A and B are shown apart, each in its own frame.
Chain A
């Protein structure tokens, strides 16, 4: 089949089935589809992209990742969204969270492997609008055993749904994440006396696009 026919066929398929990526081999190298440079944002609860994985990297303790999770839980309540918190190390403290919990399904896991299985079940369920997978306190040994294919499977399960999923990790781990929020700054002891909304506004987030996000952002016609 001539090359132009293949291109036309791909264009036709792209127009008809914009969500399908099975027939593409990934973007060709060009300056247009390079990942965007990291940008720094400050304040507030981040917006999670529906139908995609978002990774929140908390490289050190005390960066405010738990505070961010609590804010996401509370905002999901305000938006009437059923939320699931898959707690990789059973570290969530409902009392100190001080958020509405009536819409929350808390899954207290023993290990990262168990948490991934639980997240897989919830992603397949399609009833939960927001899935928070907290692996921040899991040992690195457990996390390094996670196959990259797991994250791609999660991404596939999320596609074509309105659900959002955030994964909190101690280091960049989720290869299929659409965006990665890095929490570099740490709070001091004085932060324990300050208002939580003020603290949330002070959280510095470095938003970096992943290779996966750049690939998805690129129009299909250019890849043919």
Chain B
């Protein structure tokens, strides 16, 4: 048995899945690549207003003033194809990317059994998974891939809303400039004893309303194709004309002619038609492997000047990526964000997720916290978010470890602190191996280090002497008066008066081989009010108060 997942109006759905604001609206997809740009796919709301395929954009707007027009996007179709493949791979490892919007799966080896109910549930899960990815799908199951595709395309009378109204005399089949073709259902088909139409459980929006009876299982192929009109097979017009002259109207009648007689009279093209309806013509699938790339991308119709409009798109991206990874039992370990700007430059940032997760709220907050502080020199024209997958880590907290309870929450707090104080003012201090005063760097906190057993209260008890210095950053300029080579008075913005006691001088210098060489003469002084200061004379002789001992 084979199953075919069909995304009706694939090009339109590929565009709409990233634009939740257009849900339920009249939308027409225009292919501007055609010699004469025309509408190629429309939503049911647009069709209700009289908009149909083949109209020009202006004709469509004349029929529906509120029509939203969108251009066909190859990039979005490519992304939607990836989504379809990744989703299908979660249900069967043997799959084929038959064509854009169509994916064929082999049921061989799957623990479904011959029961129809199990297949229905399995197919309904596929539809549900795709609905959560904002793609509405139909599933056909039959003994051959071709029949499964026909089953997915078929629809009982009254169940289809979109396909056949405008195709009078064309039986739902439309070719525009030979460049774009749609999968059409077969209005003449109806479920019978040999086939089973299941009510799939579909989650998410019903914006295109394809999925009334989205699962169709063909148990008896002969009965299924008996009344199937020839047009459902999309034969070349000349062959269709010949068959009509012969009085062949249905696929069942075509099958009854026999392969040899048909090929002998019409040629190899008829053989291809025959194989599509023959229950014995099982073609091998062309194996496809879903890409291990998880990215979402969107080009904005209008340039984005503030960050708020990004939230909606970004949240949907995060939802989509998280859901796609969830289907393969993975979570997000990192994000890479790229904002392409109108000036031609781009803003890029990598987000490391401290505790890989699939929680949309947590992931979105991490992005949001960072983007709230981002300023770009020109408006944003497109957005790309790529997720790096990882296996979900399980962590057992120990009694004697410093690790954080919620690393993602802490990362978010760090982001907020960085936004508040500045990137160079938040972190774990690390003293640099130099004698240069106040030499340290701040590094990103990593609180997983093991404890060192040190009985002393101070890390380096031998060298830990005296009080700590509370630094004045920058050092306060001071006028220091010396008598007998010892400081006796200090005049500065923090203290002015007599120095009661002093110890020093402590001479230090360094980096003499560099441009920023330094040398200084330090004194520790106690003023008459009892406070302890560190003062120093710089290389140019200027006096400064470096800090207060406390």
The B444-490 residues at the A interface (CB cut-off 8 A) are: 445-447, 449, 451-452, 454, 456-461, 463-473
Q: Are A192 and B466 in touch, CB under 8 angstroms?
A: yes
Give Cα A70–Cα B439 distance, bound, in whole angstroms. 18
Q: Are B465 and A66 in touch, CB under 8 angstroms?
A: no
Q: A97-B468, A118-B421, A127-B406 are in contact. Are A103 and B458 (CB under 8 A)?
A: no
Q: Give the chain B neighbours of A62 by CB distance below 8 A.
A: 467, 530-532, 548-550
Q: Give the chain A neighbours of B452 by CB distance below 8 A.
A: 100
A30 CB-CB contact with B under 8 Å: no
A25 CB-CB contact with B under 8 Å: no
Residue of B nearest to A192 (CB): B466
Q: Give the chain A neighbours of B467 by CB distance below 8 A.
A: 62, 64, 66-67, 187, 191-192, 199
Q: A61-B548, A189-B532 are in contact. Are A114 and B463 (CB under 8 A)?
A: no
Q: Give the chain B neighbours of A66 by CB distance below 8 A.
A: 467-470, 550
Count contacts on B: residues with CB < 8 A to the other chain.
64
B116 CB-CB contact with A under 8 Å: no
Q: Are B503 and A189 in touch, CB under 8 angstroms?
A: yes
Question: What class of interface size applies to chain A in its complex with B?
Answer: 35 or more
Q: A61-B550, A67-B468, A188-B526 are in contact. Are A105 and B409 (CB under 8 A)?
A: no
Within the complex, what minimum Cβ distance (angstroms) separates A2 from chain B?
46
Within the complex, what minimum Cβ distance (angstroms) separates A176 from chain B?
22
Q: A82-B404, A105-B426 are in contact. Are A70 and B458 (CB under 8 A)?
A: yes
The A63-103 residues at the B interface (CB cut-off 8 A) are: 63-67, 69-71, 74-75, 77-78, 80-82, 90-103
Q: Give the chain B neighbours of A74 by CB distance below 8 A.
A: 457-459
Residue of A nearest to B447 (CB): A82
Q: Give the chain A neighbours of B431 by CB distance below 8 A.
A: 94-95, 101
Q: Are B420 and A65 in touch, CB under 8 angstroms?
A: no
Q: Give the chain A neighbours of B459 by CB distance below 8 A.
A: 74, 77, 98-100
Q: Give the chain A neighbours of B531 by CB distance below 8 A.
A: 60-62, 186
B508 CB-CB contact with A under 8 Å: no
Give Cα A224–Cα B421 distance, bound, in whole angstroms. 46
Give Cα A110–Cα B424 distance, bound, in whole angstroms. 12
Select one of B417, B442, B458 contacting A121, CB under 8 A. B417
Within the complex, what minimum Cβ distance (angstroms) separates A104 from chain B?
6
B401 CB-CB contact with A under 8 Å: yes
Give Cα A40–Cα B451 distance, bound, in whole angstroms. 33
A142 CB-CB contact with B under 8 Å: no
Within the complex, what minimum Cβ distance (angstroms) separates A138 from chain B?
11
A151 CB-CB contact with B under 8 Å: no
> Can you list, as one digit per residue, whether each of A180-224 has a CB less than 8 Å from chain B (1) or not (0)?
000000111101111111011000000000000000000000000
B501 CB-CB contact with A under 8 Å: yes
The B97-136 residues at the A interface (CB cut-off 8 A) are: none
Q: Are A98 and B470 in touch, CB under 8 angstroms?
A: no
Q: A93-B470, A99-B458 are in contact. Are A127 and B410 (CB under 8 A)?
A: yes
B524 CB-CB contact with A under 8 Å: yes
Instruction: Show 25 A/B contacts (Cβ-Cβ < 8 Å), sorted by A.
Output: A45-B457, A61-B532, A61-B548, A61-B550, A63-B550, A66-B470, A74-B458, A91-B470, A92-B471, A93-B547, A94-B429, A100-B452, A101-B428, A104-B428, A106-B442, A109-B421, A110-B421, A118-B421, A136-B470, A188-B526, A189-B524, A192-B532, A193-B466, A195-B461, A196-B458
Q: A90-B471, A195-B465 are in contact. List 17 more A-B contacts (CB 8 A).
A: A65-B550, A66-B467, A70-B458, A74-B457, A91-B472, A92-B429, A95-B438, A99-B459, A101-B428, A103-B402, A103-B449, A109-B421, A109-B425, A114-B421, A122-B417, A186-B531, A189-B526
Minimum-distance CB pairs A-B, first 7 = A192-B466, A66-B468, A66-B550, A108-B425, A94-B429, A61-B531, A125-B413
